[in-house]
Amino acid sequence: MLYKFENELRGAEIRATDDKVGTVEDFHFSDRDWVVRYLVVDTGTWLPGRTIVLSPASVERFDRVNRAVQVNLTRAQIENSPEINVTRPLFPEQEAALASYYGWPAMGAIGAGPLHPAAPKTAEQTEISQLRSAREIAGYYIHARDGDLGHVHDFILEDFIWTIRYLAIDTRNWWTGKKVLVAPNWIQQVDWANLTVHVDLTKEAIRGAPEYRPDEPIGRDYETELWSYYQWAPYWDD
């Protein structure tokens, strides 16, 4: 099932087995496969001044109606976890410490479903996968083959395998009022230094794409129309 980060997951309550622990503030994902690796949690008044991260491996379910994420951890486990600095995505040593403490699976083993490949990366990115913050990417410019067309507005995630299915693009600087979805498969390159996502599509192609309406659920009929429009084989056929 697909859900929107800004409207549904951000701000959702994190519930441990014995009490609530905070709310979702951000998430970190791999820039190689666009899979969510950690939820960043604001602990509020419970652990003031401390932010924690939780792997999707600890999530039992996401109650989108009540905007609550149930995890299979106790408050004590979370409180006694290794303290890390999350002002930027985690370093490998920090990930190793958390995996050792919680018994989390290694990167790439999250979820029971297949991890679908996303966009091709440069040689450097292929060799070295890094974690990126959703907060970091929000607002990045979107550059089509023939020019700029908007900026990243939101992320559409799929539960169960915790992957980014689409970037929601706001085109108001180019085409007032329209929002569109771009799948990682259609991304040619991400220029992290210049805060720009390059997509392998033209502005006119995107202009004619099925419109994304944030206030409506994203159903398979809409997805089928979208992938058919761009003449791409849909990810669910992989």
> In this predicted model, what pLDDT tens digit does every residue of 124-134 receive, in sequence order?
433 455 899 99
Q: 83-87, 153-157, 223-227: lowest mean pLDDT where? A: 83-87
Beta bridge partners of 39: 27, 54
Beta carbons within 8 Å of 185's beta carbon, 6+ residues apart: 117, 118, 119, 232, 235
Mean pLDDT across 154-173: 91
Indicate the helix (H) or strand (E) that contains 133: strand 131-133
If one counts every other C-beta atom within 10 angstroms of the C-beta of residue 198, the result is: 17
Q: What is the DSSP letter of 217?
A: -
Beta carbons within 8 Å of 25's beta carbon, 6+ residues apart: 10, 40, 41, 42, 51
Say whether pLDDT at 148 is over 70.
Answer: yes
pLDDT greater at residue 117 or residue 5: 5
Q: Closest Cα partner for 183 from 137, 90, 117? A: 117
Place of tokens 């091709």: 120
Return the pLDDT at 120. 39
- Mean pLDDT for all residues in the chain: 87
Instruction: Extract the tokens encoding 12.
Output: 């959702």
Instruction: Extract the tokens encoding 85.
Output: 């600095």
Say whether pLDDT at 166 is over 70.
Answer: yes
Q: How confident is the model at residue 149 (pLDDT cuts 50, 70, 90)?
A: confident
**Alpha-carbon distance 23 to 41, whole Å?**
5
Mean pLDDT across 127-153: 87
* Biggest alpha carbon–alpha carbon distance for the chain: 54
User: In percent, how much of the chain has pLDDT > 70?
Assistant: 89
Return the pLDDT at 207. 85
**pLDDT by residue (tens digit) across 174-207?**
777 789 999 999 999 999 999 999 999 999 898 8
Place of tokens 């060799």: 127
Return the pLDDT at 128. 52
**pLDDT by residue (tens digit) across 23-46?**
999 999 998 899 999 999 999 999
Indicate the helix (H) or strand (E) that contains 136: helix 134-137
**Alpha-carbon distance 29 to 65, whole Å?**
24
Say whether pLDDT at 87 is over 80.
Answer: no
Return the pLDDT at 107. 59
Q: How confident is the model at residue 90 (pLDDT cuts 50, 70, 90)?
A: confident
User: In percent, how much of the chain has pLDDT > 90?
Assistant: 68
Mean pLDDT across 68-86: 93
For the chain, the helix, strand and coil percentages under 3-state DSSP, each to the nearest 5:
25, 35, 45
Global confidence as pTM: 0.86
Q: What is the DSSP letter of 233?
A: -
Return the pLDDT at 121. 39
